[in-house]
């Protein structure tokens, strides 16, 4: 027994030495989504090494934590998250298990990208589970608006300055550059999305509210009767009648939702189901945020024009 304990202690010491910290290195940043990863790369430049936890094709509600998530969080200098309870079902216990005090809520390396975002759909009055899986702080799909991307970038720059004050000027320069890029992107995409103004759509989930708000189209209904609640026959019948009356010709759907119900509704309304990934890297030619936004808007414009 004693010999076994001695061997156990020797093994522990050897393992501890094996993981001793190395020489100077880039800042390790963990972003929860590819959109945030892109923004961190723009601000951090050559000083950062960024990984994204979620796969762009994954539903944020069903992220299956993998061991590598904890490894990355354990080594992170900075964690950038969407916030507003978007990652609440899986991220907090992983941060705790990572044993990295820097990235805990309020830690020096914790960046909530939603700070300062003008939020949409903040529930009013008493919030209960009766309302479905309601986001109590407001709709968290805020990144699909270039104006909001500027705020995200500002939050990231603040986080980087906190942990790396020596390069603060560089982060500020990169931030200014990204802000100009977003202004140009907004001008360009407003022209691109001009045919969408006043158009009416139906969506599976509340992913597109900020995009609709910025580019002037309306989501008149959702396949889900309440966020996260299964579509019932009664709700779908209501929705179909409304779509027919309002002549809605496009149903928006993310790749991680099933096709059956959107197709059922499409068959009865003559609408077209348009599958769009709302995240950078989920589809070909969307490896950057500007490319993603152009692709989403082009798809919507094409869908609207083809139905006319």
Residues engaged in binding other proteins (CB under 8 A): 8, 12, 15-16, 19, 55, 57-59, 61-68, 70-71, 74-75, 84-85, 88-90, 92-94, 96-97, 99, 101, 104, 129, 133, 135-137, 204-205, 223-224, 228-231, 233-234, 236-238, 240-242, 244-246, 255-258, 260-261, 264, 268
Q: How far apart are CA 71 and CA 222, in angstroms?
A: 38
| Nearer of residues 45 and 225 to other proteins, judged by Cβ | 225
* Least spacing, CB of residue 82 vs other proteins, in Å: 12
Q: In the bound complex, what is the minimum distance in angstroms from residue 132's beta carbon to other proteins?
A: 8
Taking the CA atoms of the chain, what radius of gyration do you get in angstroms? 22
Q: Which residues have a Cβ under 8 Å from the Cβ of 92 and sit 6 or more positions away?
A: 105
For other proteins, the closer CB: 98 or 148: 98
Residue 272 pairs with which residues in a beta bridge?
250
Closest distance to other proteins from the beta carbon of 168 (Å): 26
Please state the closest distance from residue 11 (CB atom) to other proteins, in A: 9
Residue 89 C-beta: closest distance to other proteins, Å: 3
Name the residue nearer to other proteins (CB basis): 26 or 244. Answer: 244
Q: Cβ–Cβ contacts within 10 Å for residue 212, how many?
A: 21
* Closest separation in Å from C-beta 83 to other proteins: 9
- Please say whether the beta carbons of 265 and 239 come within 8 A: yes
Nearer to other proteins, 7 or 187 (CB): 7
Strand ranges in 70-217 using DSSP code E only, listed in sequence order: 78-81, 110-112, 200-203
Query: Which C-beta is closer to other proteins: that of 59 or that of 302?
Result: 59
* Nearer CB in complex with other proteins: 181/257: 257
Closer of 78 and 240 to other proteins (Cβ): 240
- Give the helix/strand (H/E) hosting 95: helix 91-98
Question: In angstroms, rounded to a whole number, what is the distance separating the alpha carbons of residues 56 and 77?
Answer: 23
For the bound state, the minimum distance from the C-beta of residue 277 to other proteins, rounded and expressed in Å, comes to: 10
Look at residues 262, 269, 261 and name the one whose alpha carbon lies nearest to residue 244.
269
CB contact at 8 A, 190 and 215: yes
How buried is residue 85: exposed, middle or buried, by Cβ count under 10 Å (0-12/13-18/19+)? middle
């Amino acid at each position: 027994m004693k010999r076994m304990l001695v061997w156990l202690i020797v093994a522990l010491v050897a393992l501890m030495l094996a993981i001793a910290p190395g020489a100077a290195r880039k800042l390790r940043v963990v972003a929860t989504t590819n959109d945030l990863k892109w923004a961190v790369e723009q601000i951090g430049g050559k000083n950062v090494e960024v990984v994204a936890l979620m796969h762009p094709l994954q539903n944020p509600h069903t992220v299956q934590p993998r061991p590598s998530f904890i490894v990355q969080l354990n080594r992170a200098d900075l964690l950038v998250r969407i916030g507003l309870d978007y990652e609440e079902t899986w991220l907090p216990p992983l941060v705790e298990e990572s044993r990295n005090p820097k990235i805990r809520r309020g830690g020096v390396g914790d960046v909530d990208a939603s700070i300062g975002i003008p939020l949409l759909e903040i529930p009013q009055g008493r919030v209960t589970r009766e309302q479905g899986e309601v986001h109590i702080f407001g709709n968290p799909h805020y990144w699909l608006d270039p104006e909001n991307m500027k705020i995200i970038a500002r939050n990231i720059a603040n986080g980087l300055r906190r942990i790396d004050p020596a390069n603060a000027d560089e982060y500020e320069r990169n931030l200014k550059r990204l802000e100009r890029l977003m202004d140009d992107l907004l001008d360009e995409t407003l022209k691109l999305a001009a045919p969408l103004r006043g158009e009416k759509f139906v969506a599976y989930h509340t992913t597109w509210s900020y995009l609709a708000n910025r580019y002037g189209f309306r989501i008149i209904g959702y396949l889900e009767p309440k966020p996260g609640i299964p579509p019932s026959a009664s709700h779908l019948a209501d929705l179909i009648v409304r779509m027919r009356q309002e002549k809605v010709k496009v149903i928006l759907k993310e790749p991680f939702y099933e096709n059956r119900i959107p197709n059922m509704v499409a068959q009865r309304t003559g609408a077209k189901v348009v599958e769009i990934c709302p995240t950078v890297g989920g589809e070909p030619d969307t490896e950057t945020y500007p490319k993603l936004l152009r692709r989403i808007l082009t798809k919507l414009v094409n869908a609207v024009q083809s139905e006319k």
